[in-house]
Amino acid sequence: MSQVTLTFAIVIAIVVLFIWDRIPVVLVSLATALALYFTGVTTLQQSLSGLGDPAVIFIASLFVVSAGLDITGVTAWAGQGLIARAGESRARLLVLMMGLVAVLTALISVNGAVAALLPVVVVMAVRLKRAPSQLLMPLVFAAHAGSLLALTGTPVNLLVSEAAMDHGLPPFRLFSFAIAGIPLLLGTIAIVVLFGQRLLPTRSGRSLPSDLSQHARTLVEQYRLDDGLFQLRIRSNSPLAGAARDTVDLSRYPGLTLVAVHDGDRDGPVQRAVLAEGDLLIIRGDAETAGALAADLHLAFRTPDAPDDVTGTLFNRTSGLAEVVIPPRSPLIGLAVFPGMVTPSGDLLILAVQRRGQDLGPDETILAAGDTLLLQGTWEALDRNLNEPEVLVVDSPELVRRQAVPMGRGAKTAIAILLGMVVLLATNLVPSVIAGLLAAVAMVLFRVVTVEQAYRSINWTTVILVGAMMPLSTAMTNSGAANMLADGLVHLVGDRSPYALLAGLFVLTAILGQLISNTATALIIIPIGLAAAHTMGVSAQPVLMSIAVASAGAFLTPVATPVNLMVMSPGGYVFSDYWKLGLPLLILFGLVATFWVPLFWPF
């Protein structure tokens, strides 16, 4: 059996397995590399070369950069700004929302941008009394268009740029894709604003992401933390100034509970071993008894003016709240605790204890299965201590922080790192993979993300899919399969013009891209396009850019991309909803790929 026949057989098997969708795509992609090796179509080096390809490493680094922006609340800040400016106008809401997701996509990829803004858009729909189905599909389709605003928007952009360099052509620069992306984005927004209301269903989703933007306020109200709460500042002549943090004793003041001890120089719990002038004792109880405490220990009252002051004191850029449940068989069962107690780790404070929804008060309590504890500490301490099986966390502190703390700690650093990466990519001072790695390393080095968060942020499915599928492109080129398909395509379009070639490639890419990953589609189509361009004697640049545009036009099915599937349940969509709005957009993308692209990248 010839290598061409073997390659075609492997391609057909891959497409069938992707469409069948019963085997994880990671296994299918790895099986592709193994099949190419065992059939002798590629060598061992060629079969594994994709996993160490610079494009794959660059894609992985972008996930870390994206996580830095998300974890520090930059995307939450952008989303809240969107809600504030949207008002009641449907057109303004759509334009702002689609423009925002497009810009974010250009910087942090389609998956990252949609995942970050999905909860924000659902909350916005609920607050403005609009159906989520009218907003979520436009969000995703605008992200697809926004992926063509910059090199960093999608792995396909990196693949076509690398393919251009491999064939001796100038690579596509950071904003080269915007030549096609800007008209696509403007056209997408126009179609959605003018026709989206009629083409989209009006439904609420079967499952909606949790709105955690008011999480702190909810916890303060549930645990009644704002009832009789006082803030007492340590004066210079107080006996507590210079005393150990754990020597604060309120046993002589019945009815008073120590809620927290905050650092006077920064928001958040005291991390020092000793207290200092300006630190705040946050206590709860009777006003008269609190006055006696203040007089005895030379403390100054700083009473909150509103419940929101309480929320801001306990929940801010540096510290937060977490609600945990004691599960059955937890080693904490039987432990004696009380509000104001510091946990054994030394960096979390117990604010309240509830049993069956009832507050157990300031006295000592023996923990039982099902008890609920409200804890306060720095975000780092919450992340570090709540991953243990001893407790069940009601809402992940990391997820709460992302939604509820816009522009949190490290946000400015994350933005500066992102801008630095953009400058390196735009000026071409270093290869793109080096720019991405520098940005990812900086995110960890400057403690924007931890090493564990960086690992978790990488979508390994995408990384392995791209790396393991790359040898297929090599196989199609080396075996002659790409040339055979290209000859067939050139024969089909005849001597009509190169425009017919672009149209044929667009149709082939668009059809395949509705059924399997657009990244996998691009890896299959790129060698065919390059061979066809060589056969017709035209430049490969417009062909590669046309393939990038076609790959982004994955609108007609929910399985075309992960983000299409991501909004299906929250938007209440069914399979047939996608093509109604997707078909006009696909026609727009086809026109841009066929006629607009050659104006700037001539044949």
Does residue 541 lie within any of the structural domains? no
Please tell me whether residues 202 and 181 are part of one structural domain.
Answer: yes
Q: What is the DSSP letter of 303?
A: -
77 and 204 share a domain?
Answer: yes
In a domain, 233, yes or no: yes
Provide the pLDDT for residue 438.
94
Q: Which residue has the tokens 């006003």?
A: 287
Confidence (pLDDT) at 307: 44
Co-location of 67 and 89 in the same domain: yes
Q: What confidence tens digit (pLDDT) does each residue in 519-565 have?
A: 878 888 888 888 888 888 888 999 999 999 999 998 887 767 778 87
Judge whether 57 lies within some domain.
no
Please check whether residue 428 lies inside any domain of the structure.
yes
pLDDT category at 252 given cuts 50, 70, 90 is confident
Q: What is the CATH number of the domain that holds 297?
A: 3.30.70.1450
**Model-level pTM?**
0.70
Amino acid symbol at 26: V
What are the φ/ψ torsions at residue 517 (nearest 5 degrees)?
Answer: -50, 135
Does 245 share its domain with 339?
no
- Kindly state whether residue 294 falls inside one of the protein's structural domains: yes
Q: Of 280, 313, 346, which one is at a domain's C-terminal end?
A: 313
Domain with 361 in it: 318-394
DSSP per residue, 178-199:
HHHHHHHHHHHHHHHHHHHHHH
pLDDT of residue 148: 94
Q: Does the pLDDT value for residue 311 go beyond 50? A: yes
* Residue found under tokens 């998300």: 70
Q: Are residues 70 and 174 part of one domain?
A: yes
Report the pLDDT averaged over residues 195-210. 76
Q: Does one domain contain both 363 and 444? A: no
Q: pLDDT at position 545, please?
A: 94
The answer to whether the CB of 481 falls within 8 A of the CB of 522 is no
3 state DSSP class of 602: coil
For the stretch 146-172, pLDDT in tens is 999 998 888 889 889 988 888 888 888
Query: Domain boundary at 282, 313, 344, which?
Result: 313
State mean pLDDT over 442-450.
Answer: 92
How remote is the C-alpha of 177 from its chain's centroid? Answer: 22
- Arithmetic mean of pLDDT over the chain: 83
For the chain, percent of residues with pLDDT exceeding 70 = 92
d(CA 494, CA 566): 41
Phi first, then psi, for residue 459 (nearest 5°) are -80, 95
* β-bridge mates for residue 232, sequence order: 281, 301
Distance CA 187, CA 513 (A): 21
Instruction: Please tell me whether residues 156 and 296 are part of one structural domain.
Output: no
Write the CATH number for 363.
3.30.70
Tokens 């727009």 map to which residue? 588
546 occurs within a structural domain: no
In contact, 479 and 41? CB cutoff 8 Å: yes
Residues 186 and 131 in one domain: yes
191 within 8 A of 119, measured Cβ to Cβ: no
H-type helices in 234-374, by residue range?
287-297, 307-314
What's the domain count of the chain?
A: 3
